[in-house]
Amino acid sequence: MTDPHRGVLYPDRLPRFTRLLPGEAASELVEWYWIPQWELPDGVESRQALLPYPAANLAVEPDGVTLWGVTTRAGERVLRGSGWAVGALLRPAALAQLSAAPADLADRHVVLDEPGLQAAVAAAMPDAQAAADAVEAWLTARVGALTPEARLANAMAALLMTDPAILRLDDAAERLRVSARTLQRLAHRTVGLPPAAMIRRRRLQEAAQRVRDDPEAALADIAAELGYADQAHLANDFRTVLGLTASDYRSEQ
């Protein structure tokens, strides 16, 4: 399983946080479930900075159910008081059934009218596994049987987000034995981001983790290991997406 803190820019600031793998029935629909729970004193805030995966999320909270589209930049959520959320990081096969136009959801969200799902999850909390099971039962019933295209979309996303040898769109197309144009269209229909953007997000997540976890590693070495042209290219990605330099990020840990 991928490191549970990958994509979380400041892990030490997390509230109580549980990450669970899906059951077999939902293994083609969900990467994992994420379940934060928090109880903060009056006047105290917890700021959660994230560099999310290039994927949609289904989130159930005390006030409703929301489908969040893929994001194109880092974001932040401020936690106050007490609360919880039960989220599912969706694989492309699931998103394609929940949204007719995933690309239109980029950096946006829609509220789903699903009071039954919200009630089932709320009744299960604070049992994280039971709450995830409630989401899984709803999702598997809602999505139904998968098409060959849906499975190809899952394979594409898994390859782009996990294989460090994939540095270009053509690399992925050759591995999956389809054309580059096919992958571009597939990503638009099922993810909402171009494949090249997904590759860049994976590399930047990996770079952020290395910068954070290995304070002795030279930034130039990290850039070379992750396939950046040079350290300046890595620095530009940090500034563009995160709004700060790699050196500043390291010093903030």
pLDDT, tens digit, 9 for 90 and up, residues 149-174: 999 999 999 999 999 889 899 999 99
88 located within any domain: yes
Nearest to 169 by CA among 187, 190, 154, 151: 187
What is the enclosing helix (H) or strand (E) of 75? strand 75-80
What is the pLDDT, as a whole number, of residue 41? Answer: 85
What is the pLDDT, as a whole number, of residue 6? Answer: 59
CA dihedral 99, 104, 110, 116 (to 10 degrees): 0
198 located within any domain: no
93 located within any domain: yes
Measured in whole angstroms, the distance separating CA 128 from the mean position of its chain's CA atoms is 19
19 located within any domain: yes
Q: By three-state DSSP, how is residue 230 classified? A: coil
What is the pLDDT, as a whole number, of residue 1? Answer: 43
103 located within any domain: yes
Q: Which residues pair with 87 in a beta bridge?
A: 34, 59
98 located within any domain: yes
Any idea what the CATH number is for the domain that residue 63 is in?
Answer: 2.60.120
Q: How confident is the model at residue 181 (pLDDT cuts 50, 70, 90)?
A: very high
78 located within any domain: yes
Domain that holds residue 134: 11-143
The two structure tokens encoding residue 142: 């809602």
Per-position DSSP letters for 160-182, written without gaps between them: HHH-TT--SHHHHHHHHTS-HHH
Predicted model pTM: 0.85
When divided into structural domains, the chain yields a total of 1
